[in-house]
Structure 1
């Protein structure tokens, strides 16, 4: 007997315990349905879902929301025709879609951040894990070399950077996803004495402006902005590895979307 959608959801929820308020629910599909295959992805785009169906996978586990909002929003009215069309297409596909955001972030260490660190081959250098951040002590490296390493490991063509590319860094704070705001990032510099913070995205008038002033004051501080998807996709790739070990009787695939933006 193959595992059901509910069995897989329960297995993923179990390490955290059921949350009273969460966006992590079964968005489409029957929880009693037997799973023929699983696809994990950062974003549940129609392209990703179509690839899942082509692989005979009837369960998609995605980190972000289906309809362009963090919280479930009403898409049956007349204001979101793109969402309505996507909704109809998913219903006709008979695929189950489970959002796995809050629980994965509440694993210890955070599953998304741990996946990013694993993809960067920096697991041996982790010194502290906080609920929203991890701290690393890497061998002394120039910022230029760290940029090259990150671009190669994550297959990212472009990275936004602030700081002296020739400065040597050892103390790095990691903040995956939308955690680049000053309330989370600045304490890593001030209290943990980070030389470099790497995050996905955040308000540009907070942490980047702090870094600008720090550099002008002669402080050895640097910032690397990966992009939200670029920082969290490795966590969903790591989830696929975890699920394959938990449910060896079914195929598990990770599907990566194309980058949102092009640079010209």
Structure 2
């Protein structure tokens, strides 16, 4: 009888497709749990919240793979900086749950193509229109359509309550750049907009005084530039759901599923 894979076996499988070495320091780490423990079930999630971890435990899963970290920051807390009360309380609850929590961020972004970006493109039904997967963005040539039509399509296919859209609603868009997560800053977007003549920018999040203001002034100067802001989680959730499918194929004897949190913000 084959033994069950351990937490470390799953981690090794997660990081195997990443090209090159992880950055130093890397954000990817096992925050809680024993790497030698046999895995009874796997849950993927964008954010490893207490709700996700406790739902995973209730379902019999003992490994949660989150894309972002447990404690509200991309980088770990400096040992000389006091831990916040909420972080301490969350740490205790996670430890008591018996669930191992691994963050898979850097490795997944180093898949080729980027595992998070590819998952979003697939969820949108845009895979046939990809011209180039770059490390920082994906460039596409979509069938030409008005900005608001494309926005409505994105909203429907991702099951989102709302989007943030800027630009002429009727402007025709075809040359599209997609940036996932926090890649919407001007140093990432503008070189590709201008080099490839993009008429639509879609990203997770970025400084609001950078790319959005560039797009506004571009439109006023007669250079059509649509902008659709998904939200950080909304842009990366599909990639983590796709990861669950990949792990289910890799470990067919283990239950694997993706769990979503409820939306962080509400419209008032």
Q: What TM-score, normalized by structure 1, do the two folds share?
A: 0.97
Say if 1:141 and 1:243 are closer, same or farther in 2 by CA, change over 3 A.
same
1:205 equivalent to 2:204? Answer: no
Say if 1:18 and 1:58 are closer, same or farther in 2 by CA, change over 3 A.
farther
Residue 10 of structure 1 corresponds to 12
The 2-side partners of 1:18 and 1:37 are apart by 28
**Gaps in structure 1 of 5+ consecutive residues:** none
Residue 57 of structure 1 corresponds to 61
The SS at the match of 2:60 is coil
Pairing partner for 1:226 from 221, 230, 246: 230
Deviates most, 116-125 or 75-84? 75-84
CA shift for structure 1 position 21: 2.6
CA shift for structure 1 position 76: 10
CA shift for structure 1 position 117: 0.4
1:160 equivalent to 2:164? Answer: yes
Q: What are the Cα deviations for residues 65-88 of structure 1, in whole angstroms up to 9, with x where unaligned?
A: 100010111589765111111001
Pairing partner for 2:194 from 185, 190, 197: 190
Pairing 1:101-180 to 2, within 5 Å after superposition: 101-180=105-184
The SS at the match of 2:157 is helix
Say if 1:257 and 1:203 are closer, same or farther in 2 by CA, change over 3 A.
same
Is the Cα–Cα contact under 8 Å of residues 75 and 83 in structure 1 kept in the other structure?
Answer: no
The 2-side partners of 1:103 and 1:235 are apart by 13
The SS at the match of 2:196 is coil
Pairing partner for 2:52 from 48, 52, 63: 48
Pairing 1:29-108 to 2, within 5 Å after superposition: 29-73=33-77, 80-108=84-112
CA shift for structure 1 position 93: 1.1
* Off by >6 Å, runs of 4+ in structure 1: none
The 1-side partners of 2:34 and 2:147 are apart by 49
Pairing 1:241-256 to 2, within 5 Å after superposition: 241-256=245-260
Is the Cα–Cα contact under 8 Å of residues 75 and 84 in structure 1 kept in the other structure?
Answer: no
CA shift for structure 1 position 188: 2.1
Residue correspondences, number: 264
**Cα RMSD for the two superposed structures:** 1.4
Is the Cα–Cα contact under 8 Å of residues 77 and 83 in structure 2 kept in the other structure?
Answer: no
Is the Cα–Cα contact under 8 Å of residues 64 and 101 in structure 2 kept in the other structure?
Answer: yes
The SS at the match of 1:191 is helix
Deviates most, 18-27 or 171-180? 18-27
**Gaps in structure 2 of 5+ consecutive residues:** none
Q: What are the Cα deviations for residues 78-112 of structure 1, in whole angstroms up to 9, with x where unaligned?
A: 65111111001111111111000000001111000
Q: What are the Cα deviations for residues 164-218 of structure 1, in whole angstroms up to 9, with x where unaligned?
A: 1111111100000000000011112100111001000000111011011101001
